[in-house]
Amino acid sequence: MRRQRKVKILATLGPASNNQDTIEQLARAGADLFRINMSHASHEVLNETMANIRSVEQKVKRPIGVLVDLQGPKLRVGKFADGAVELNTGDIITFDQSNTPGSKERVELPHPEIFEAIKPNHTLLLDDGKLELIAKKCTATAIECEVVHGGKLSDRKGVSLPNTLLGVGALTDKDRADLVAGLDAGADWVALSFVQRPEDIIDVRKTVQGRAGVLAKIEKPQAIERLEEIIKLSDAIMIARGDLGVEMPLETVPGLQKRMIRMARQQGKPVVVATQMLESMINSPVPTRAEVSDVATAVFEGADAVMLSAESAAGDYPVEAVNTMNKVAVAVENDVLYQGIIRRQEITPDATAADAISAATRQVAETLDLAAIVCYTSSGSTGIRVSRERPEKPIIALSPKDSTVRRLSLIWGLHCVRTEDAVNLDDVVDRACSIAYREGFARPGDRVAITAGVPLGTPGATNMLRIAFVGQDGMGSS
């Protein structure tokens, strides 16, 4: 299952797709890894879905990554006596901590942390930004607000606070339980929702302890303010444009997307673009032209992965959505302008031997028109470094660890293969050439670039670049 593109596709599983047959169809259509959303999945569903994915992995003979997405703190208003109220511009409504059913004048806000942090003139956005309120008077027990943009407000609708830095961390008690369950089930990545500060990443790392990659979802203005620190502490980021577009002016989100992709790439961290990419395909077998353009823009910008949410989790056309995203990505990467755009985004390598080798490998592979780049990577760091260079040539990442090849399924351009560690330098060359030949990247007479660390099997010690010929038998010779 060699992909004809380098950007990866992350598909969310849900009621429409979390059976084994559909997961296999999604994988064959182009999904490289799957997201399990813990907002909707019990631990039983998590384990069942994980087992289905691992069964499909055996069938398609290709590593498949799994991302467990933690729900994060959900802020909601309480209930109303009549189920809903109509708020008009200029109305005054008070939020308090009494669980008495609400009215047009007051309603419960069962989150003490909001009362501790909010200040006068802070904005409250309700029901995904459909209603906007401004805090006028704030005490430890009540927040009096004026309605700026009114509308219908019903029971348990969500609350967003774009100006308010809450004192609580991004992990709730439910998230901690889900995190442990995800790690026990063998998750390759865990996604942390509503990150506000670098300390949120440090907190989750204490539990993860290297068992999975930690992905920070950027969906709060507070995270934008400390973006560089958050990226540095994370293994990857996700540009979660849905909530980000609620809490920040919509017109700023495209520019932020470009900025985040550049910053993540500069730091050598994978970046996922998510939310509403093919939203209309929840109910339609074809996307809108604007959605196709949106996916194409993310691919042109060099994102590592593009994500489907409800389109593949709860929509009527999950396989068609993945197939459409795959076709768009392939078309973009074959566009005559693609390589030039990617090359203009070239990243300056860090002053380390591993980064210098990775940069040199790209240049050598393109100058000599080699068939592929083969990198040995125990921990995955070498594969990520080579990918960061965005070479024109295919990259084959070899590792003896299932956990590594699955985790690398998120990374741009990496065709991941699990293989035993090479025993000596001759074996390094033979194994690289035979796998490049077997996987359809090289033919007899072609040359490949090989990177590895000597001594062999030492994580993070990339210090060797070798060029080898693929022989008639698929074996290599220097």
Strands (E), 213-277: 213-218, 236-240, 271-274
Q: Amino acid letter at 145?
A: C
211 labelled catalytic: no
**Known active-site residue 451:** no
β-pair type (92-96, 106-108) = parallel
Alpha-helical runs (H) found in 305-443: 310-313, 318-333, 338-344, 353-367, 381-388, 402-407, 425-438
Q: How many CA atoms lie within 13 A of 101 on its CB side?
A: 8
Q: Which of 275, 377, 382, 404 is catalytic?
A: 275
Of 444, 464, 445, the closest CA to residue 454 belongs to 464
- DSSP annotation of 457 reads T
Catalytic site includes residue 275: yes
H-helix or E-strand containing 428?
helix 425-438
φ, ψ dihedrals at 116, nearest 5°? -75, -25
**How far is the C-alpha of 58 from the C-alpha of 378, rounded, in Å?**
22
The Cα–Cα gap between 27 and 31 comes to 5
Distance CA 446, CA 414 (A): 20
DSSP 421: P
Query: Of 5, 35, 388, 431, which residue is the catalytic one?
Result: 35
Residues 6+ apart with CB under 8 A from 141: 96, 97, 115
Residue 151's SS3 state is strand
Largest CA distance in the chain: 81
Of 5, 217, 220, 447, the active-site residue reads 217
The residue length of the chain stands at 478
| C-alpha distance from residue 152 to each of 88, 161, 311 (Å) | 9, 19, 27
Given the residues 54, 76, 130, 262, select the one marked as catalytic. 76
Give catalytic status of residue 59 as yes or no. Answer: no
The residues annotated as belonging to the active site are 35, 76, 217, 275
